[in-house]
Amino acid sequence: MIKVEHLSKNFGNLAVLKDVNLEIREGEVISIIGPSGTGKSTLLRCINLLDRPSGGSIYIDGVDILDSKTDVPKIRQKMNMVFQSFNLFAHLCVMDNLTIAPIKLLGKSKQEAEQKAMEILTLVGLAEKAHNYPDELSGGQKQRVAIARCLAMDPEIILFDEPTSSLDPTMVSEVLSVIRRLGKKGMTMVIVTHEMEFARDVSNRVMYMDEGIIYEEGSPKQIFDNPQKEKTRAFINRVRSIHYHIASPKYDLFTMHAEIEVFCEKQILPLKTRQNLLLTIEELLRIYRHLLLTTVLDMTLAYSEKQGRVELVLESAGEAVNPLDSTEVADESGLSLIRNMTQGIDYQRVNNKNRLTLILN
Ligand code: ADP
Ligand code: MG
């Protein structure tokens, strides 16, 4: 259905896509994963003709879509794309968002378009919202409307570019359920996503993109459980972390909090974990405060994709004593808060330092 050969795309001197080759058959669900900045969006935009490739070919149902003689609007009708940021028409109600293109581009009658729109809204669970405006909907509902709008054009292929990345974590699953449902109905889909569990269970094949190419591809089981190439392995098992070296009690707590929030957002951590983490750090730093007069503190926050857990490691110099030992801590309530928000707290003496490891709830 889609065949991409030796596709390249440069932005000025920046070679984003170098030599992308792939083939997608009818009814397949393909997930594309990979670090950010590797050209996943660019690839989707090239396939959908939103970006002009620098070289190579793209065939849709055997038709070379880069050929100047190709009827581009006709090809576009076969494909539709769902973006991270919904891109709904804010001044139109849900129903009008769904019917405007079928009426203007497919020449459907208003009645026909509205009937179809209602069927689709029922499919995505939003029939009740037909006459609401986008700003009256939650993020998850907006994205379901965006998917519905896409379906209203009767596409043969849907391209999703990180459809859940800008959603509050509580709303991710409603959108993923809708996509999963389309997959079951046999829709051909290409999904760029950071949701590894979802990619694993919804896709026929997973493609790992890196270095401007499809670096490795295989079944979800192959890619997630037994990747063959080093970079794929590193990505799948990656642990993301941020590090703070705190040298005095005068450190900038607000900047630190803001950075940690951004980190949590990037890793798409559940809201509860974020809140636990920020509170835990705040309480820990209160407890460490008197230590910071005489020693420095190294704090590392790490998220393991595979284990799906957040770990906080604090290292401080000074005599061998557990900084959270209750006899050392004046603030008992802070300590019990920390205990409530963690699954485990481990103390070790390593290289003449006191190391505390906390696993967050
Ligand atoms: P991904 O979706 O994998 O995160 P993108 O396809 O968005 O990656 O971007 C890949 C690279 O191309 C990035 O370095 C980005 O800055 C660059 N890029 C994307 N679009 C443009 C553009 N229109 N002009 C210049 N550079 C761009
Ligand atoms: Mg992208």
What CATH number is associated with residue 114?
3.40.50.300
Q: Are residues 231 and 339 in the same domain?
A: no
Nearest CA to ligand 1 atom 22: 11
40 lines ligand 1 (CB under 6 A): yes
Three-point CA angle 228, 232, 237, nearest 5°: 110
Those residues whose beta carbon sits under 5 angstroms from the ion ligand 2 are: 41
What stretches in the chain show pLDDT beneath 50? Answer: none
Range of the domain at 292: 239-360
Are residues 213 and 356 part of one domain? no
Q: Kindly give the number of the ligand 1 atom that is closest to the alpha carbon of 35.
A: 3
Same domain as 133, residue 10: yes
For residue 18, give the nearest of 55, 48, 59, 66 by alpha carbon: 55
Residue 327 and residue 182 share a domain: no
DSSP 105-170: HS---HHHHHHHHHHHHHHTT-GGGTTS-GGGS-HHHHHHHHHHHHHTT--SEEEEESTTTTS-GG
> 2 and 47 in contact (C-beta within 8 Å)?
yes
Q: Which of 236, 263, 283 is the last residue of a domain?
A: 236
What CATH number is associated with residue 329? 3.30.565.10
Structure tokens at 199: 């990619």
> Is any ligand 1 atom within 6 A of the Cβ of residue 36?
yes
Q: CA angle at residue 339 from 333 to 343, to 5 degrees?
A: 170
Residues 4-61 pLDDT 10s: 999 999 999 999 999 999 999 999 999 999 988 899 999 999 999 999 999 999 999 9
The per-residue pLDDT for 167 is 83
- Assess whether 257 and 206 both reside in one domain: no
Q: Both 312 and 171 in a single domain?
A: no
CA-nearest residue, atom 16 of ligand 1: 37
Using a 6 Å cutoff on CB, does residue 211 contact ligand 1? no
**274 Cβ below 6 A of ligand 1:** no
109: which 2 tokens?
């009658």
Q: Looking at ligand 1, which atom is closest to the CA of residue 51?
A: 23
Which DSSP symbol is given to 5? E
> Do 321 and 256 share a domain, yes or no?
yes
Q: Which two tokens stand for residue 36?
A: 């950010």
193 lines ligand 1 (CB under 6 A): no
β-bridge partners, 204: none
Which residue, judged by its Cα, is nearest atom 25 of ligand 1?
Answer: 11
CA-nearest residue, atom 18 of ligand 1: 11
pLDDT at 94: 98
Of 214, 236, 258, which residue is a domain's last?
Answer: 236
pLDDT at 328: 67
* Cβ-count burial 229-266 (b if 16+ within 10 Å, e if not): eeebeebbeeeeeeebebeeeeeeeeebeeebeebbee
User: Based on the structure, what is the number of domains in the chain?
Assistant: 2
The CB of 41 under 6 Å from ligand 1? The reply is yes
Q: Is residue 142 a contact partner of residue 86, using CB atoms and an 8 Å limit?
A: yes
pTM of the model: 0.74
Co-location of 83 and 215 in the same domain: yes
Q: Are residues 40 and 184 in the same domain?
A: yes
Side-by-side strand order, sheet with 309-316: 239-246, 297-304, 309-316, 353-360, 342-350
Q: Is 164 in the pocket of ligand 1 (CB under 6 A)?
A: no
- 156 lies in the same domain as 297: no
- Pair (345, 219) in one structural domain: no
Same domain? For 253 and 211 the reply is no
- Supply the pLDDT for residue 248: 86
- Of 203, 236, 269, the one marking the end of a domain is 236
Residue 37 beta carbon below 6 angstroms from any ligand 1 atom: yes
d(CA 295, CA 353): 11
Among protein residues, the one with the nearest Cα to ligand 1's atom 23 is 11
